[in-house]
Chain A
């Protein structure tokens, strides 16, 4: 078994990296994070039309390229490194995976070609004001009248919820948690962008007042689907976190080499060396966890649920630690608005909490491996 990336996957990495170096440098990140939509439509189109990133894991019969999770985590890692501001995670990792996992051919045929071409921005809305990431947290009601469904209630912290054209909503029917597809501009839907600590990833509050919706997949099977999607999302986020953590380590090491204090580079001081060595150890371990989880996700094997939680818990802490140490190593300048360290710090914190914090995932891991 070979866990190394193939030459072609490395080529994909280098192309995505050079694309993001040009299209998502720090100046572009700062520009986009100040906007309400939070992304550059031209960059989004180019990602779809040339690199085909939105279509990477979409099956060929639905206008995609039909590749798997190993390729996707390569892309997500580079996006995390560059702090790309775009609705990629919501559209590809959340919505595309949900549509694929729901086993609803008609919906796949209807929705996936638009996602693959970059025309559709999609997301999944499942968290409610209680802020829970589990099945019990889904209380929103879906009411049937004939074949049609209507939704009423509130969804919170919906990634890119205010810009998505298609929103997949988890709500309860008599059969249990089910998934529904709602158009972004549906009547009765009020979308409010939320002020977020991490400005590089936009969130919205969605209020549903008798919004008509289409059922996705089987009535009552929503949580089974969503549970798998959350595992896949945890793996995707872990890969993103690895990229961000590596960026923090690179920044720290570079600064430790050039910043001179007391007549010598600060990297020669043991306190700084130890910080960098600890960061390296954690970043490398995080990579191993995220890559292995990526492989499990591409195989969709039985290990996925436990490995997803393991990777999410470990990579969250590795990234947050690297982002915090990066500020310490930079000293005063690391604490300024002008330096990018705070952008990584905030992304690390928000990603740590997204889909459940490390404590939550350790508990899940314990349950999943039966201890």
Chain B
């Protein structure tokens, strides 16, 4: 069972994030760490490979400046190898462009039976990459998995819903997005941290992916950020004095907002 996990490296959420005043995008020039939401995918992949009695977990990532710190965390947890795509031309790439790059990177991994992703990243939150990736790879996809089992060439997924979960089956290979918090990601040992340094890490430039510069970056996205403004200050609320009709007035207020 060979599993590919998409692993995003993001600025540490514990540090205050900053926007670049020129590009109006999040600054990513400091240390990048493995997005916590991807750790669940890495953990699930390691468990699935273990249960299947063998196979490799491969990480794929796209990051600026050949940053590898976050990937190393995934390798320390137990992933066998990683593919990183890094190229100055990728600056400004949107969700679809990211999916194109990741699809190309996944294509470099031989014999992948399953591709796992998070449902969304903790810094961008578009939540669209998993399905875009599945479409580009021509694979079926299941979203919001809280539990995954593999048997008879199929993946059985408990798919989280508002009310509980659906049981869904899907033939392999496929793309499954994993809900945050459904497993406890393992904590690597120092031996694992040291071993991660020598695990194979394939570093690709844009040209290696077969994509052209105009398919990615600002050009590929066909979008620009024209302005960034602070969120408006919270305005003073409406105070309702209870003269016996307080409850009705609150209901009327909420109805007006179409909340009840």
Task: Tell me, rounded to whole Å, the shortest Cβ–Cβ distance linking B180 to chain A.
Answer: 14
Given A8-B197, A11-B73, A11-B76, check contact A46 B187 (CB 8 Å): yes
Contact present for A65 and B191 (CB under 8 Å): yes
Q: Mark B73-103, 1 if CB is under 8 A from A, else 0.
A: 1001000000000000000000000000000
Q: Mark B41-76, 1 if CB is under 8 A from A, else 0.
A: 000000000000000000000000000000011001
Residues of B within 8 A of A19 (CB): 187
Contact stretch, chosen from A49-57, A95-103, A170-178, A185-193: A49-57
Q: In the complex the two chains form, what is the Cα distance from A218 to B192 in whole Å? A: 36
**Closest A residue by C-beta to B186:** A50
B interface secondary structure, majority: helix
Contact present for B186 and A52 (CB under 8 Å): no
Q: Mark B194-235, 1 if CB is under 8 A from A, else 0.
A: 100100000000000000000000000000000000000000
Is B190 part of the binding interface, using a Cβ–Cβ cutoff of 8 Å?
yes
Residues of B within 8 A of A50 (CB): 186-189
Contact present for B187 and A51 (CB under 8 Å): yes
Is B136 part of the binding interface, using a Cβ–Cβ cutoff of 8 Å?
no
Q: In the complex the two chains form, what is the Cα distance from A71 to B197 in whole Å? A: 17
Contact present for B191 and A15 (CB under 8 Å): no
Task: Tell me, rounded to whole Å, the shortest Cβ–Cβ distance linking A277 to chain B.
Answer: 24
Is B148 part of the binding interface, using a Cβ–Cβ cutoff of 8 Å?
no
A interface secondary structure, majority: helix
Q: In the complex the two chains form, what is the Cα distance from A11 to B76 in whole Å? A: 10
Q: Which of A11, A18, A46, A71 contacts B72 (CB 8 A)?
A: A11
Contact present for B191 and A12 (CB under 8 Å): no
Residues of B within 8 A of A11 (CB): 72-73, 76, 193
Contact present for B197 and A15 (CB under 8 Å): no
Task: Tell me, rounded to whole Å, the shortest Cβ–Cβ distance linking A355 to chain B.
Answer: 26
Residues of A within 8 A of B189 (CB): 50-52, 55, 65
Residues of A within 8 A of B190 (CB): 8, 12, 51-52, 56, 65, 67, 71
Could you say which of B190, B192, B194 has the most chain A C-beta atoms within 10 Å of its C-beta?
A: B190
Task: Tell me, rounded to whole Å, the shortest Cβ–Cβ distance linking A61 to chain B.
Answer: 14
Residues of B within 8 A of A15 (CB): 187-188, 193
Contact present for A52 and B191 (CB under 8 Å): yes
Q: In the complex the two chains form, what is the Cα distance from A15 to B187 in whole Å? A: 7
Residues of A within 8 A of B192 (CB): 52
How many chain B residues touch A (CB < 8 A): the figure is 13
Q: In the complex the two chains form, what is the Cα distance from A67 to B187 in whole Å? A: 18
Q: In the complex the two chains form, what is the Cα distance from A65 to B194 in whole Å? A: 11
**Closest B residue by C-beta to A53:** B189
Residues of A within 8 A of B193 (CB): 8, 11-12, 15
Could you say which of B76, B187, B191 has the most chain A C-beta atoms within 10 Å of its C-beta?
A: B187
Q: In the complex the two chains form, what is the Cα distance from A34 to B149 in whole Å? A: 41
**Closest A residue by C-beta to B72:** A11
Q: Which of B72, B188, B194, B197 contacts A51 (CB 8 A)?
A: B188
Q: In the complex the two chains form, what is the Cα distance from A51 to B186 in whole Å? A: 8
Task: Tell me, rounded to whole Å, the shortest Cβ–Cβ distance linking A326 to chain B.
Answer: 22
Q: Mark B149-193, 1 if CB is under 8 A from A, else 0.
A: 000000000000000000000000000000000000011111111
Residues of B within 8 A of A65 (CB): 189-191
Task: Tell me, rounded to whole Å, the shortest Cβ–Cβ distance linking B6 to chain A.
Answer: 22
Could you say which of B76, B186, B194 has the most chain A C-beta atoms within 10 Å of its C-beta?
A: B194
Task: Tell me, rounded to whole Å, the shortest Cβ–Cβ distance linking A227 to chain B.
Answer: 28
Residues of B within 8 A of A52 (CB): 189-192
Q: In the complex the two chains form, what is the Cα distance from A46 to B73 in whole Å? A: 18
Task: Tell me, rounded to whole Å, the shortest Cβ–Cβ distance linking B220 to chain A.
Answer: 34
Residues of B within 8 A of A12 (CB): 190, 193
Residues of A within 8 A of B187 (CB): 15, 18-19, 46, 50-51
Residues of B within 8 A of A51 (CB): 187-190
Q: In the complex the two chains form, what is the Cα distance from A365 to B197 in whole Å? A: 41
Task: Tell me, rounded to whole Å, the shortest Cβ–Cβ distance linking A217 to chain B.
Answer: 28
**Closest B residue by C-beta to A15:** B187
Q: Mark A135-147, 1 if CB is under 8 A from B, else 0.
A: 0000000000000
Q: In the complex the two chains form, what is the Cα distance from A89 to B158 in whole Å? A: 43
Q: In the complex the two chains form, what is the Cα distance from A71 to B189 in whole Å? A: 11
Q: In the complex the two chains form, what is the Cα distance from A56 to B189 in whole Å? A: 9
Task: Tell me, rounded to whole Å, the shortest Cβ–Cβ distance linking B85 to chain A.
Answer: 23
Q: In the complex the two chains form, what is the Cα distance from A46 to B189 in whole Å? A: 11
Q: In the complex the two chains form, what is the Cα distance from A308 to B73 in whole Å? A: 34
**Closest A residue by C-beta to B73:** A11
Residues of A within 8 A of B197 (CB): 8
Q: In the complex the two chains form, what is the Cα distance from A71 to B76 in whole Å? A: 16
Q: In the complex the two chains form, what is the Cα distance from A53 to B73 in whole Å? A: 17
Task: Tell me, rounded to whole Å, the shortest Cβ–Cβ distance linking A273 to chain B.
Answer: 24
Q: In the complex the two chains form, what is the Cα distance from A56 to B192 in whole Å? A: 12
Q: Mark A240-261, 1 if CB is under 8 A from B, else 0.
A: 0000000000000000000000
**Closest A residue by C-beta to B188:** A15
Residues of A within 8 A of B76 (CB): 11
Residues of A within 8 A of B194 (CB): 8
A-binding residues in B (CB < 8 A): 72-73, 76, 186-194, 197
- Listed from nearest, the 8 A-B pairs whose CB atoms lie closest are A52-B189, A65-B191, A50-B187, A51-B187, A50-B186, A12-B190, A19-B187, A8-B193
In the complex, 20 of the A-B residue pairs with CB atoms within 8 angstroms, ordered by the A residue number, are: A8-B190, A8-B194, A11-B193, A12-B190, A12-B193, A15-B187, A15-B188, A19-B187, A50-B186, A50-B187, A50-B188, A50-B189, A51-B188, A51-B189, A52-B189, A52-B191, A56-B190, A65-B189, A67-B190, A67-B191
A8-B190, A52-B189 known, 11 other contacts, Cβ within 8 Å: A11-B73, A11-B193, A15-B187, A15-B188, A18-B187, A50-B188, A51-B189, A51-B190, A52-B192, A55-B189, A65-B190
